[in-house]
Structure 1
Amino acid sequence: MRRSLSKKEIVKRKPEIDRVFKTGKTYACLGLKLIVSQNQLDVDRIVVIPVRHYGSAVQRNRIRRQIKEIWRNEKPRMVPGYDFAFIVYPGKVNDHTSQKKQLLALCEKAGVFLQS
């Protein structure tokens, strides 16, 4: 079983990212901001953007990997057809459990979870 995101599940092109920022709704908590925008696809897509002053390149890449992994594990619970942009700000809390709580709380606010 593949344990990484496919190319279809990642927002890469600048015009697509700009569209998410222009048309999306914003939800925020301490250290993390979520912008959600509908797309015309049958899959959810993600982009993780640490702010420029977020540590070194190693730390920025690490936070990208961590958020993508949390999102990949929670993806089956989400309604398909959305683009997600996570903007990460430097903060004191960087452990996995608090990141997961924040991410799930923002997704819950956005209402992107399937009704069970």
Structure 2
Amino acid sequence: MDKQDERLRKSERLCSKKRIDLLFGTGGSHAMTAFPLKAVYRLIDSVPASSSPDGDPETASVQMMVSVPKRHFRRAVKRNRVKRQIREAYRKHKHSVIRHMDGQAGKQLLIAFIWLSDELSDTAAVEQQVGSLLQRIGERV
């Protein structure tokens, strides 16, 4: 795999409020858990570049976001550490789900990773859980 493919670009991040509401608001989303993570995902029709709500001309086939609730970690330093660990693990393992999405033209996958535990985990454990979640999502899509 090329080093350029391992980057986590802005177009791969789920930032649009409309798409986040689409992921969590209406029915049709699926969830799976690999403690201490929960992944909520939804397959949607891809929006053409000209009418994209974000104004982003190049939208990736898979977009992700990370959420670490404040009730689990009161200090922002710990929340940011967990988010960094999840983003890094996603960056390394995203090819497993992108490979499955390449065959589906006109579709886009939205994924949200939610932290469930009150304790910090080491990076290797987080990476293993994110990898298993992405593999399972890829098989179901």
TM bucket (normalised to shorter chain) is 0.7 to 0.9
Partner letter of residue 18 of structure 2? P
TM-score, normalised to structure 1, is 0.81
* SS of structure 2 residue aligned to 1:65: helix
Q: Aligned residue for 2:32?
A: 27
For the residues of structure 2 that align with 1:91 and 1:54, how far apart are their CA atoms?
5
Aligned-pair distance for 1:39? 3.2
The runs of 5 or more residues in structure 2 that have no matched partner are 47-59, 102-107
Q: Aligned residue for 2:90?
A: 71
Q: Aligned residue for 2:51?
A: none
- Backbone CA RMSD of aligned residues: 2.2
1:100–1:7: structure 2 CA closer, same or farther, 3 Å change rule? Answer: same
Runs of 4+ in 1 over 6 A off after TM superposition: none
For the residues of structure 2 that align with 1:96 and 1:90, how far apart are their CA atoms?
14
Query: Contact between 2:29 and 2:42, CA under 8 Å: does it hold in 1?
Result: yes
Aligned-pair distance for 1:77? 1.9
Partner letter of residue 31 of structure 1? P
For the residues of structure 1 that align with 2:40 and 2:31, how far apart are their CA atoms?
4
Aligned-pair distance for 1:17? 1.0
Q: Whose radius of gyration is greater, 1 or 2?
A: 2
Query: Percent of pairs identical after alignment?
Result: 24
Matched residue pairs, number?
A: 113
Matches within 5 A, 1:51-62: 51-55=69-73, 56-62=75-81
TM-score, normalised to structure 2, is 0.69
2:42 to 12, 37, 40: 37
For the residues of structure 1 that align with 2:66 and 2:87, how far apart are their CA atoms?
7
Q: Aligned residue for 1:47?
A: 65
